[in-house]
Chain A
Amino acid sequence: MSTYRDQVLAQLETVRRNRDQAVTRFFDESLPLGERLQAALSAGTFVGDAELAKATAIVRDVKENALVRATALNGLSNRLTKDEALLTEIIHLLGDGSAPADVRRVALTTLQASQFGSQPMMVKQRPNYKNVLRGLLDDADQELRQNAAEFLALDRDEFVQRRLLSGLKDPNQAIVAPEVAIQYLAHDLHADMLPVLRDIARHPPNEAAKKEALRNLTLDPESKDLLVERLTDPNEAPEIRHVCAVALYQMDPALMRTLAKDIVANDDTDDELRAALLNTMSHLPLGTSAPEADDAFGARVAELEANTTSAPLKRMAEEYRKRSQ
């Protein structure tokens, strides 16, 4: 075998020794807190019965410093999918509002990571975990609230969907900002959400919410005219115009391309928007048929490529020309 492999094996051995020393230092209660925490950065996850037992004891010790408990729990992440009793304890800890926030936040991360391992015990505990997440929607800790809401939304949880929709209709009931609520709801967009999105698109509480509402109206035939209106409005923000282009593409690719060509050809249009639209036309096909030949537009794009001082626009004009050939 090679010298290279021998060198890498030697590095592995060095890392192993350093790691073992780091673990020893983390568990050494006689050391200052800062040294223990810093040592843990090199400890990786805990392995072997002795380390696992010590780390578990630290997590369970309510008198222990919260940062040490959080660090110990972080190092137990590979254990959670093998120890149902520990898993259940950590789910309970997550929901315990009296436990330190640092420990609960680590609990949430390690539990969510465990969702990637579908052992029978994880499947069995999932309803329990979801119930705790629902409880976190009203938690005092914003980080926990917001992340719990997103994890539930990713899971298409109806409880959080109702809460998010209520928040969009009545800001006093909002658990997250409206643009974020729209994004969470879009993980599982129901038809009954569309009227709310239409209303936000026309009467937005802020520009970010308007953008997300328009983006997700791609499934709403009633909103086609609105998307066209926003795409073609020269006073609309360029980013919102592009969002409308991509949304319109999924409804009516031919119409989107026709409108986009006019926008690109217009020298009064923002160059970044022109570049973005050429990018879109280069990558999103016109249905399943071959691209239409459009010599006039092709000539205009060639002119842009030759004359523009905008680097992104020049590059996208070249890209479009190559793809059209």
Chain B
Amino acid sequence: MSLTIAINDSTDELANYVTWAPSPLRLALAENAARQVRVRSRTTASGGRIQFRTLDAGPFSDEVELTLPANAAPVTLTVAGEFEHPSSADKDVEVSVVDAQSGQELGRKALMVRIRKNANELSADERDRFLSALVRLNTVASNGLVSFVDILSMHDEVSDPEIHGRSSFLPWHRAFILDLERRLQRVDPSVTLPYWRFDQAAPNVFTRDFMGVPLNDGILDFSSTNPLINWINRLPGSGNQRIRRVNGARVRNALGQWQLVPFDPTQGRAIAVSNGQNDTINLGMPPGSNKHRFLNFADMEGDPHGSAHVSFVGQISAPATAPADPLFFMLHCNVDRLWARWQWLADRWTTGQEDSYPLVGQGDPQFGGPGGIGDFTLDTMWPWNGVDTAPRPNTAPGGPFVSLYNAGPTSQPTVGEMLDYQGQVSGGIGLGFGYSDIPFEH
């Protein structure tokens, strides 16, 4: 084939994934003469949609026309997923390049608009691919190791002071769930982390086919076809427990009256959560102010984040054990989405701007905790920096950050690298993920 199509500056199949943010699309025509071509997409009714532009800025369109020089001189344009039209299956949309005059197709490449979605709106196939990848990540691989054990070790009692109760809570957890997501994508590249809207009823999430339904004794019950019947609790020192998740029994009815009955997450919001989505965003603008500040928004670590955790009783209701419950990652995906949503609405992407993130510069390596090392924009984050000496935790599991073609962050990411996840300010493709309800706008 005389036409080479490279997405994300790579011809590797694993690079053929885009989000709402612009990705480079490089074309090279190995012919003796230049050609005028049209670049467009081919998709199915349920497939993702993509758009193109030839300049670094300006509107995207369904089709662009350009000249491809002779002799494989490359031309780079950009491709991006069309907002609100993510893929539903791997490689369900294609870039197609045709001769502008004859209409002859010169080449095509399949890709996926890979976006984090609302867990309650997943198709059965999307749900099962996610669960299957998660279970596989939690089994012994060919190298004799269990990748998921690294994830558990990053969020235990040892790491607690490093990752909670300080400004870097949000950037660190963004990196943490991205690390997990990339490990999942090494098992199945079509998978993303879904988010659980804990401020809404989730009738499709808390079922035997997905996150399970508690039996009378609190143990989760799954259907025979749910991959989670094979979920092994690998918390150190634990037996072979199935995950426990008892629905919190302190319900406020529609009249606000307290009742001692277990709440039903298929019918209403997580029972301990007081701040819904918009209340959470509004936390960023304190009373008497018309300016959003990270320091105020960060209160969400308590409610809704902590409250979502303790809406149940079980592994998810304690910091050291919470990641043993798969719901944890969907909970934290929503926490991250809320931060991303606040960033979008308040236009808070820029490191070096205290309203975007308050601790600019480098922390003092002698001190940990709030305002200490690991809390500042230029500080590398544990454990990916490999530091296992005080004041950091005394282990550093997992190694460098999992790479993904040309997406950020670096192998030892800093706090600041986690802010501009779509490359709004920094350019580039950002961190390689996006949310179904947050567009790229720049």
Contact = CB atoms under 8 A, between A and B. Distances in A.
Interface in B224-283: 224-227, 229-230, 232, 235, 237-242, 244, 246, 248-250, 252, 254-258, 260, 272, 274-276, 278-279, 281-283
Q: Is the interface of A mostly helix, strand, loop or mixed?
A: helix
10 contacts: A5-B344, A12-B282, A19-B282, A34-B256, A81-B301, A109-B310, A115-B319, A246-B232, A285-B140, A316-B224
Contacts of B104: none
Interface string A297-310: 00000000000000
A75 B240 CA distance: 37
Looking at A39, A80, A112, the one whose CB has the most chain B CB atoms below 10 A away is A112
Given A19-B279, A186-B239, A117 B287 contact: no
B274 A74 contact: yes
A74 B306 CA distance: 12
B224 A115 contact: no
A288 interface: yes
A118 B161 contact: yes
B3 interface: no
A113 B274 CA distance: 12
Contacts of B244: 150, 183
Nearest to A77: B303
A5 B345 contact: yes
B329 to A, nearest CB: 15
A15 B369 CA distance: 34
Given A11-B278, A116-B301, A246-B232, A272 B240 contact: no
Given A40-B256, A116-B164, 4 more contacts: A44-B282, A45-B279, A154-B315, A216-B240
A150 B317 CA distance: 10
A154 B229 contact: no
A45 B230 contact: no
Q: Is the interface of B mostly helix, strand, loop or mixed?
A: loop
Interface in B76-134: 132
Nearest to B299: A78
A189 B235 CA distance: 11
Interface stretch (A91-99, A228-236, A275-283): A275-283
A60 interface: no
Closest 3 CB pairs of A and B: A37-B256, A186-B239, A113-B306
Interface of B: 132, 135-136, 139-144, 160-161, 163-166, 215-219, 223-227, 229-230, 232, 235, 237-242, 244, 246, 248-250, 252, 254-258, 260, 272, 274-276, 278-279, 281-283, 285-288, 299, 301-303, 305-307, 309-310, 313-315, 317-321, 344-345, 369-370, 439, 441
Nearest to B275: A44
A215 B242 contact: yes
Nearest to B271: A109
A158 to B, nearest CB: 13
Contacts of A106: 250, 258
Given A19-B282, A246-B232, A288 B142 contact: yes
B239 A215 contact: yes
Contacts of B144: 288
A219 interface: yes
B303 A113 contact: yes
A186 B206 CA distance: 24
Contacts of A219: 239-240
Nearest to A323: B132
B44 to A, nearest CB: 22
Given A77-B306, A186-B239, A284-B230, A43 B274 contact: yes
A226 interface: no
A156 to B, nearest CB: 7
Interface string A3-34: 01100110110011001000000000000001
A171 interface: no
Interface residues of A, number: 92
A179 B309 contact: no
Interface in A37-87: 37-41, 43-45, 47-48, 50-51, 67, 70-71, 74-75, 77-78, 80-81
A146 B246 CA distance: 11
Contacts of A88: none
Contacts of A37: 252, 255-257
B302 A77 contact: yes
Contacts of B278: 11-12, 15-16
Given A47-B283, A216-B241, A276 B219 contact: no
B320 to A, nearest CB: 7
A114 B240 CA distance: 28
A9 B314 contact: no
B255 A120 contact: no
Contact of B229 (A45, A183, A189, A279): A279
Contacts of B143: 288
A150 to B, nearest CB: 5
Nearest to B311: A109
A117 B240 contact: no
Contact of B250 (A11, A105, A119, A284): A105
B164 A117 contact: yes
A106 B272 CA distance: 9
B230 A208 contact: no
A155 interface: yes
